[in-house]
């Protein structure tokens, strides 16, 4: 039986710069590609946002941030038309400022 140590055997022969580049490269593989949203979906998201603002309903917003998609669940507190951002307050009273262009999906949540 061969007792190979795998990567451990080769890391001593690599420069630290090479190890760093390989780690960054592996991290980049986990990045998600931002998807384009069609006009029908934009219209349904717009209706959900306005309904959530008017009736103070809980929403689940999926948005693209730092090469990954994130979920925010909370109430839409404010729509900043100047900066094109939505201010969402989650259940921990933390404010999230989400750019409208980064939003991928908005759904009304049952709470």
pLDDT for residue 12: 65
Give the pLDDT of residue 23. Answer: 85
Give the pLDDT score at 33: 84
CATH assignment at residue 102? 2.30.30.100
Q: What is the pLDDT of residues 55-105, one digit of tens each?
A: 999 999 999 998 899 999 999 998 999 999 999 999 999 999 999 999 999
The count of domains in the chain is: 1
Q: What is the span of the domain harbouring residue 91? A: 39-108
Contacts of 107 (CB under 8 A, 6+ apart): 48, 59, 60
Measured distance CA(42)–CA(105) in Å, rounded: 8
Q: Which residue has the higher pLDDT, 97 or 10?
A: 97
CA nearest neighbour of 78 among 98, 106, 105: 98
| 3-state SS, residue 82 | coil
Answer yes or no: is 18 within a domain. Answer: no
| Cα–Cα distance measured from residue 28 to residue 22, given in angstroms and rounded to the nearest whole number | 10
> What is this structure's pTM?
0.73
């Amino acid at each position: 039986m061969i007792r190979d140590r795998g990567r451990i055997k080769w890391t001593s022969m690599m420069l630290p710069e090479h190890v760093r580049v390989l780690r960054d490269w592996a991290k980049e593989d986990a990045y998600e590609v931002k998807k384009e949203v069609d006009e029908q979906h934009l219209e349904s998201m717009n209706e959900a946002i306005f309904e959530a603002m008017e009736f103070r309903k809980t929403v689940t917003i999926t948005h693209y941030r730092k090469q990954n998609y994130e979920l925010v669940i909370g109430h839409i507190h404010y729509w900043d038309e100047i900066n094109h951002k939505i201010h969402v307050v989650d259940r921990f009273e933390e404010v999230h400022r989400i750019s409208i262009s980064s939003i991928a999906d908005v759904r009304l949540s049952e709470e």
